[in-house]
C-alpha cells in the first residue's frame, strides 16, 4: 500500500479503540493523519501514542452534533490539507428493548451514527469532487447486516450506513470517488462485552483486533481497490454469516 504514502486521511472518532488503531496504522504506512474526536484528552492520548512511534497528526476536536461547526471545520482543514481519504469511524452504541427506549435516545443514536457520517462526508465531498479523486470508508456493523435483539435502534442506524454507502457510491462515481463500508463483528475494544458462549459462535474462535479493521480500511483506500465501490465488507470471523 505504498501508494497511500503522503496521502491525507481524516479519521473521525480517533480518540480511542478502533479509531485510534486507524490513526496509528495510517500514520505507520506514511499517511498524513487528521485525528478527530469530541474529547481533547482522548485526542492527546492518540497523538501521544503516535509520537512514541515517531509519527504526528493534526488534532481536530469537535462535537459532531454541532453540525455547522463540524462541517466548516473539515472544509477549512481541506483547504490547507486536501483530504484524500475519509474514515467515518465515530459512533456510539445503543442497547435497549424497543419498548424501553425513548425518543431522545433514538434521536441521539441516529444523529451521531448516521448524522455524523453524513456531516463528515459533506465536509470533504466538495474538495474530493474538485480534485476528481477520493476514498470514503464508512463503518457499519455486523448487527446492521443481521440485526440484534434489544439493540434494534443501533442496528438500524448501522443498516442506514449501508444505504448511504451504496447510494453515495453511485452519486460520487462520476468524480472518481469510491465509497465502501466495513461491517465489523466483535472487535477487542474497551466497549466489547464478550463471553465463552459468544466466542463459541465465531468459526475462527476469537474476536477481531482493531488493527484488522484499520488494515481493511487501508486496503479499501489504496489503488488496488480502485474498482471496488458500493461494497459492504463483513469483518466478523464468520459469525452470523449471511448470503
Place of cell 492518540: 46
Mind spelling out the 3-state secondary structure of 132-194?
CCEEEEEECCHHHHHCCCCCHHHHHHHHHHHHHHHHHHHHHHHHCEEEEEEEECCECCCCCCC
Is the per-residue pLDDT at 205 higher than 80? Answer: yes
pTM over 0.75: yes
C-alpha R_g of the chain? 17
Give me the pLDDT at residue 224, please.
Answer: 97
Tens-digit pLDDT profile for residues 110-153: 999 999 999 999 999 999 999 999 999 999 999 888 888 888 99
Which is catalytic among the residues 143, 154, 168, 172?
Answer: 154
Tens-digit pLDDT profile for residues 224-235: 999 999 999 999
Number of H helices, E strands in the chain: 9, 7
Mean pLDDT of the chain: 94
Q: Is residue 175 within 8 Å of 190, Cβ to Cβ?
A: no
* 154 part of the active site: yes
User: If pLDDT is split at 50, 70 and 90, which confidence band does 156 have?
Assistant: very high
Cell reading at 145: 447486516
User: If pLDDT is split at 50, 70 and 90, which confidence band does 70 have?
Assistant: very high
Give me the pLDDT at residue 241, please.
Answer: 61
Q: What is the number of other CB atoms lying within 10 angstroms of the CB of residue 160?
A: 18
What's the maximum distance between 2 C-alpha atoms anywhere in the chain? 50
pLDDT top residue among 57 and 148: 57
Give me the pLDDT at residue 200, please.
Answer: 84
**Per-residue pLDDT averaged across 194-198, rounded?**
70
Is the per-residue pLDDT at 186 higher than 90? Answer: no
Q: Which of 241, 234, 117, 229 is nearest to 182 (CA)?
A: 234
Least confidently predicted of 42-46, 88-92, 187-191, 229-233: 187-191
Is the per-residue pLDDT at 99 higher than 80? Answer: yes
Domains detected in the chain: 2-235 (3.40.50.720)
Q: Which of 107, 77, 103, 80 is nearest to 92 (CA)?
A: 107
Is the per-residue pLDDT at 243 higher than 60? Answer: no
CA distances from 67 to 64, 72, 76, 121, 159 (A): 6, 8, 14, 12, 22
Give me the pLDDT at residue 143, please.
Answer: 85
**Per-residue pLDDT averaged across 201-220, rounded?**
93
Amino acid at each position: 500500500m505504498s501508494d497511500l504514502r503522503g496521502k491525507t486521511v481524516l479519521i473521525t472518532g480517533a480518540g480511542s479503540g478502533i479509531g485510534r488503531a486507524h490513526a496509528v496504522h495510517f500514520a505507520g504506512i506514511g499517511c498524513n493523519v487528521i485525528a478527530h474526536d469530541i474529547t481533547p484528552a482522548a485526542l492527546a492520548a492518540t497523538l501521544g501514542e503516535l509520537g512514541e512511534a515517531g509519527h504526528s497528526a493534526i488534532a481536530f476536536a469537535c462535537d459532531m452534533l454541532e453540525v455547522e461547526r463540524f462541517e466548516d471545520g473539515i472544509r477549512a482543514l481541506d483547504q490547507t490539507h486536501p483530504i484524500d481519504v475519509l474514515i467515518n469511524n465515530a459512533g456510539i452504541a445503543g442497547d435497549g428493548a424497543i419498548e424501553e427506549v425513548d425518543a431522545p435516545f433514538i434521536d441521539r443514536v441516529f444523529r451521531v451514527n448516521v448524522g455524523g457520517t453524513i456531516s463528515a462526508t459533506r465536509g470533504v465531498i466538495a474538495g474530493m469532487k474538485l480534485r476528481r479523486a477520493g476514498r470514503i470508508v464508512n463503518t457499519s456493523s455486523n448487527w446492521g447486516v443481521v440485526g440484534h435483539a434489544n439493540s434494534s435502534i443501533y442496528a438500524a442506524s448501522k443498516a442506514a450506513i449501508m444505504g448511504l454507502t451504496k447510494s453515495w457510491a453511485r452519486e460520487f462515481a462520476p468524480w472518481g470517488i469510491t465509497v465502501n463500508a466495513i461491517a465489523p463483528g466483535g472487535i477487542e475494544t474497551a466497549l466489547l462485552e464478550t463471553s465463552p458462549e459468544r466466542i463459541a459462535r465465531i468459526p475462527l474462535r476469537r474476536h477481531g483486533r482493531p488493527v484488522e479493521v484499520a488494515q481493511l480500511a487501508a486496503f479499501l483506500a489504496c489503488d488496488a481497490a480502485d474498482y471496488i465501490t458500493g461494497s459492504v465488507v463483513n469483518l466478523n470471523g464468520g459469525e452470523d454469516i449471511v448470503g
